[in-house]
Structure 1
Amino acid sequence: MKAIRQTIQKDLVKETVFASCDHPTAEQIYNTIVLTHPSISKATVYRNLNLLVDDGLVKRVQVLGGPDHFDKTVLDHYHIQCTCCKRVEDVEGIPNLGILAGITNAKGYRIDSYEIVFSGVCPDCLEKNAAMKQ
């Protein structure tokens, strides 16, 4: 088993991700940390995010046309991204609808993990768009 090396910077990055109510980007994580630790570099934040992902402590959420987001929930689950504001959120309470079994049966794969990201317009952006049309 690989030993997980802890550093102050890695702890700062992890704590920032875990304190977040959403799925921040590396840039957002850096902007939060630099407020209290101005000597930290972006490269340090990016490097430690990659280490946290490699260690299985944080999940990387890749979205089309934008930067990766980071999630403190590492178990497989769905996400949704707003096409207007780019916010990423968890989608909870939706069963996998037999998708995994269908892929396994049709192709013979053993599914180890998955990442599904839905896209749409969030309620806040829908409200803003409706207000602008009035």
Structure 2
Amino acid sequence: MKNIFIQGPVPATLVTEQIQKHSHLEQIGAHSIFLGQVRRDEGVTAIEYTAYEAMALEQMHEIREAIIPKYGLSCMHVYHSLGIVKTGEICLFVFTSAPRRKAAIAACEDALEQIKTKLPIWGKEIFGEDAFQWKQNT
């Protein structure tokens, strides 16, 4: 099983590296990329992400194994932050590649929805040094 977790924010260099790594694969005609960024809602300064990692990795493997053949993907990559991610930083990176754009886009959207609803990953919104609340996935 592939590890999807990154400690802290997803670095922009990882996004560019993934795009560059796929440029030589001539069967790919489209990539779809989703970048989730921590936003400053009602004074949020950061989100601290935690997960039941073993279960999340198993579920992500099942999601990936179902989505790749469903959409005829060439590949699919997911990276999710753990730990503290400040507002403006990237916390989720979903990258799908396919011969055609509609498949890449639909697969990215499907993966994202399943990640948000099925993976045991939690975010604690931080408002200051001592103020926080648990984030609801929407």
In the superposition, the TM-score normalised over structure 2's length comes to 0.29
Higher relative contact order (CA 8 A, sep 6+): 2
Q: Tell me which protein shows more helix as a share of its residues.
A: 1
Bigger Rg, structure 1 or 2: 1
